[in-house]
Structure 1
Amino acid sequence: MTPTCPAILVAAPASGQGKTTVAAALARLHARAGRRVRAFKCGPDFLDPHWLALATGHPVHNLDLWMTGEDDARARLHEAAGQADLIVVEGVMGLFDGEPSAADLAQRFGLPVLAVIDASAMAGTFGALAFGLQHYRPGLPWAGVLANRVASDRHAQMLQDALADQPSHWLGAVMRDAAFSLPERHLGLTVAAELPDALARLDAAADALATTPLGQMDSEALARWSVDFEAPAEVPADVPAEATALQGKTIAIARDTAFCFIYPANLDVLRALGAELVFFSPLANEPLPACDAVWLPGGYPELHAATLAGAHRTRDSLRAHVQAGRAVWAECGGMMPLFDHIVASDGDAQAGWGLLPGRVVMQKRLAALGPQQLALPAGVLRGHTFHYSLCDSTLAPVLHTEAVRGEVRAVGEAVYRAGGLQASYFHAWFPSSPAATASLFLSAGGAA
């Protein structure tokens, strides 16, 4: 049976237009009305899903035609459609940016596109921009356009008049209001859990959206955006039968505001592989729980470098774990405190944990961004890289990831190894290869 469910992809002409605010507000508005809402994030982003999860009360998975793959995305949408009254997918960057883009995802699955445009510095051009987004690519499913950060009712009328040829595509205007702005920093939005008023901000945004034609749509009106979500030809197994090497293993995972870049799907894969998951907080100076392996995910260690420098119980227990030959997989922010020092962009240095020689130095500009893949003996893991620091180490990499730009391949991120510890700027999407994932958490090491 093919489930049918109203769905919308919230996109924009560029980053910074307010996609996350609108997507989360829309999800929150309908969740408050008692509807079952499921949200997804296009692309590899870790931060926006925190806000979408707060809005819906459910885990938010990523959809990316390259990193997660079409079958994985189709299976997740199919499952959500069987449970939800509305599916909200937040796009990535500009609508047509990236390979693959949010537009590619919309066309592949028939998702109607809602274009959110920051109209704070335009009037008639709003119509031209909306027209271009709709017609740039033939056959793009289209829902309409929402003006964001509007100055006044008169301004909103000017923007609506710019759509005179297609008045039905006007879905309203959201006024500029600091009450529901979502704060940002160098990697993107601030994590929702760090803000005590995060839910109040979403409620304020939902209240504002409720005054628009978009926000006033009920279940009957939403039905015009219904999509048939077919199952993939072959439903991808979470874990191949032969890849159960983590059965009976306990994996300790760092999880706090310094280590928060965790795909829910990655946790699902580890559990499906048979692992028991336990969590600890380096920021609270917690020692490792009893475990067979450790995962140090990415996050913001540079914002908490002084606290982490004093996390001696965490440091010492991690060192003992490595000296015992047990496995550690550290990615990006999870790798940074393993070096001797973390150096801020102003030159201030904080002591690291000294498990790897060298230092990481924060840059004022983005140091690396893009899709990557890591070939291990057990399989190929897909993922991405996104970081502001650079690594300066005497330790020679044991291998490199491969950077992927369409059909072009290039040398990607270094993978460092010291005993059972493996570390890289590479963020892995575990479902892309459960067997390779399992190898990362075995003492023998996946990079052997």
Structure 2
Amino acid sequence: MTTPSRCPALLIAAPSSGQGKTTVTAALARLHARQGRRVRVFKCGPDFLDPFWHTLASGAPVHQLDLWMTGEADCRARLHAAAQEADLILVEGVMGLYDGQPSAADLARRFGLPVLAVIDASGMAGTLGALVHGLQHYQQDLPWFGVLANRVGSERHASMLRQGLREPGHWRGALSRNPAWVLPERHLGLVAATELDDALQRLDLAADALSDTPLGRMTLDELRSRCGVDFDFPLPGTSAPSPALLQGRTVAVARDAAFCFLYAANLECLRALGARLVFFSPLTDGVLPACDAVWLPGGYPELHAARLAANHGLRDSLRAHVAAGRPLWAECGGMMALLERITDGQGVTHALWGLLPGAVTLQKRLAALGPQALRIDGFELRGHTFHYSTCDTPLPARWRTHSPLGESVVGEGEAVYAHGSIVASYFHAWYPSAPELVARWFGAGQPQSEALAA
């Protein structure tokens, strides 16, 4: 194991989305993990889906690093902790290297993470060199490790690409185009690894291919020499632990193929607040587990609308939970499932649970995308929004999120509805940014449920 002060680390980025950086990150993690090395992978930005693949590849939990949403102190602490136990740290970027405020490049500069650029080189030759030069030098002081060309047609093609580099020593190899290791996509991004029976096989094939590249043949000592990062940087003063505002309370968390957008840090936050977590599947369970509060996270209710609508037992159980005044927090897909009906991408309308008035309609274009914050009573809960549906409801917005960028990407911001004991929104929250506010939403200060008290 490496020492905490010097651990090989890479930030794997690209000129844009769709270049293959998730595949390369997961393949590199899998290549080292199956050799018995301890790999920790992080995802830059508020992504739920790529971490499924990185968790499978590395065998370890995956957390988000975002200089705005999670904050520099949290990023610093997580990287420092990972360096104490890992042989290799990988961070997958978000969109293009310089996209977003802050960007993956900002994260790389802030923590000295060398950048490996993954570039779809199909249809280019010498232009790769110009693109690499621009990525490396667009902003000053960017730590740089090199480039991996993806979807390359032949060895001759790879040779032409390499010759185009101003610094041939930055060539880290090429991967051919091969459908056997393609990670399938749908409208919200990659299909989760948990949904595919051959997910690990795909990663193994990609790792095998990567093992034949200069990058894949590098030993840990070579990686430490060329991309070792000093993670023994000063940490912020130890903050006071979250008060156990949910001590003795049970939160039931929906978790299955329809409701799968869960930050590991959010689960950790609820536990730090004292909550006991129990998990249930709205697709298969006919009744809620005994609980004081319910969390319906985001996911794909539109893909499972018929099964959800047919689960009358769970619908009635949720209705009884709300009628008893017990909290229910529903975000994005969770809110969609609570409405009366949904019209999917094929124009087919399905009835849903009807705990909230109104309907949602899927559309082919993004309805909202970007970081968002919710300010209530002096707290700022940070997170993001990302959805293809629109909501038509008579409910007034109890609160609205806002964009931290000065101009909103979603008009007036996302509506947050309060209806009885339900709080619902398209807004995806990152709980550690305001744990006391989150505790309120899950019933802090309210009597425990009669079901548990009995």
Residues 1:368 and 2:344 aligned together: no
Distance, in Å, in 1 between the alignment partners of 2:57 and 2:4 is: 27
CA contact (8 A) 1:319 1:355 kept: yes
Of the structure 1 ranges 43-52 and 434-443, higher mean CA displacement relative to structure 2 is found in 434-443
Give the aligned residue type for 2:174.
Answer: A
Distance 1:426 1:374 in 2: 9
Shift of 1:128: 0.6
Give the letter aligned to residue 434 of structure 1. Answer: P
Aligned to 1:114: 116
Q: Output the CA distance in 2 between the equivalents of 1:440 and 1:237.
A: 23
When structure 1 is superposed on structure 2, of 225-234 and 386-395 the one drifting more is 225-234
Q: Distance in 1 between matches of 2:281 and 2:378?
A: 30
1:190 Cα shift?
A: 0.2
Q: Contact 1:420–1:444 (CA<8 Å) still a contact in 2?
A: no
C-alpha distance after superposition, 1:245-304 (max 9, x if no partner): 100000000000100000000000000100000000001143110000000000010011
Distance 1:309 1:408 in 2: 38
Match of 1:167 in 2: 168
- State which of 121, 125, 128 in structure 1 corresponds to 2:127: 125
CA distance in 1, matches of 2:164, 2:428: 43
Q: Is 1:222 equivalent to 2:223 in the alignment?
A: yes
Segments of 5+ residues of structure 2 without an aligned counterpart are: 447-454
Q: Deviations over 1:213-234 (max 9, x none)?
A: 0000001111121111135542
Deviates more, 1:1-10 or 1:377-386: 1-10
- The Cα offsets for residues 69-125 of structure 1, whole Å up to 9 and x where unpaired, read as 000000000000000000000000000000010000000000000000000110110
Match of 2:79 in 1: 77
Distance 1:338 1:432 in 2: 26
How much identity, in percent, do the aligned residues show? Answer: 65
CA distance in 1, matches of 2:439, 2:240: 13
- Secondary structure, aligned partner of 2:116: strand
Greater CA deviation, 66-75 or 374-383?
374-383
Deviates more, 1:201-210 or 1:224-233: 224-233
Contact map agreement 2:115 2:143 (CA 8 A) in 1: yes
C-alpha displacement at 1:402, in angstroms?
A: 1.2
Structure 2 residue identity aligned to 1:175: S
Is residue 2:419 matched to residue 1:418? yes
Q: Letter of the 1:151 partner, please give it.
A: G
SS in 1 for 2:214: coil
Corresponding position of 1:404: 404
- The residue aligned with 2:334 is 334
1:22 to partner: Cα distance: 0.2
Q: TM-score, normalised by structure 2?
A: 0.95
Q: Secondary structure at the match of 2:232?
A: coil
Count of residues in correspondence between the two structures: 441
Distance 1:236 1:332, change over 3 A: farther
User: What's the counterpart of residue 272 of structure 1?
Assistant: 272
Query: Structure 1 residues 99-108 or 219-228, which shifts more?
Result: 219-228
Shift of 1:443: 7.0
Counterpart secondary structure, 1:382:
strand
Write the mapping of 1:60-75 to structure 2, written as runs, cut at 5 A: 60-75=62-77
Aligned counterpart, 2:208: 207
Structure 2 Cα separation of the partners of residues 268 and 236 of structure 1 = 17
Q: Is the 8 A contact 1:327 1:443 kept in 2?
A: no
Distance 2:437 2:287 in 1: 27
CA root-mean-square deviation: 1.4
Secondary structure (helix, strand or coil) at the match of 1:335 reads helix
Distance 2:240 2:67 in 1: 17
**Are the equivalent residues in 2 in contact too, given 1:152–1:175 (CA < 8 A)?**
yes
1:178 is aligned to 2:168: no
Query: Greater shift after overlay, 27-36 or 37-46?
Result: 27-36
In the superposition, relative to structure 1, how do residues 444 and 246 fare at CA in structure 2: closer, same or farther (>3 Å)?
closer
Q: Which moves more between the two structures, 326-335 or 433-442?
A: 433-442
Q: How does 1:370-385 map to 2 (within 5 A)?
A: 370-377=370-377, 379-385=379-385
Q: Which amino acid aligns with 2:428?
A: H
> In the TM superposition, what is the alpha-carbon distance from 1:379 to its structure 2 partner?
1.8
Q: Which residue of 2 aligns with 1:392?
A: 392
Provide, for residues 374-420 of structure 1, a one-character-per-residue CA deviation record: whole Å limited to 9, x for no partner.
Answer: 12236211000000000000111111111222x44673100111111
Are the aligned partners of 2:44 and 2:93 in contact in 1 as well (CA < 8 Å)?
yes
Between the aligned partners of 2:65 and 2:319, the Cα distance in structure 1 is 36
Whether contact under 8 Å (1:17, 1:117) holds in the other structure is yes
**Equivalent residue for 1:248?**
248
> Contact 1:326 / 1:443 at 8 angstroms: preserved in 2?
no
What does residue 199 of structure 2 align with? 198
Which residue identity is paired with 1:42?
C
- The offset of 1:239, in angstroms, is 3.7
Find the aligned partners of 2:217 and 2:232 in 1 and give their Cα distance: 29
Matches within 5 A, 1:52-67: 52-67=54-69
Q: Is the 8 A contact 1:238 1:431 kept in 2?
A: no
Matches within 5 A, 1:11-90: 11-90=13-92
Deviations 1:137-166 (A, max 9, x none): 111000000000001111111111111x31
Is the 1:260–1:298 contact (alpha carbons within 8 Å) kept by the matching residues of 2?
Answer: yes
* CA distance in structure 1 between the partners assigned to 2:54 and 2:346 by the alignment: 34
Q: Does 1:136 align with 2:145?
A: no
Within 1, Cα distance between the matches of 2:381 and 2:295? 16
Q: Does 1:440 align with 2:441?
A: yes
Q: Distance between the aligned counterparts of 1:154 and 1:6, measured in 2?
A: 31
1:428 aligns with 2:429: yes
Which amino acid letter does the alignment assign opposite residue 277 of structure 1?
Answer: L
AA aligned to 2:159 is: Q
Change (3 A) 1:210 1:93: same
Give the conservation status (yes or no) of the 8 Å contact 1:255–1:280: yes
- 1:347 maps to a residue whose letter is G
Q: What amino acid maps onto 2:197 in structure 1?
A: P
For residue 149 of structure 2, what is the aligned residue in structure 1? Answer: 147
**Can you list the C-alpha shifts for 1:1-59, whole angstroms capped at 9, x where unaligned?**
96321100000000000000000000100111111100000000000000000000011
Post-superposition offset of 1:439 = 1.1
**Equivalents in 1 of 2:81, 2:101: separation in Å?**
25
Q: Which runs of 5+ in 1 are unaligned?
A: none
Counterpart CA distance in 1 for 2:167 and 2:314 is 60
For the 8 Å contact 1:378–1:435, the answer to whether it is kept is no
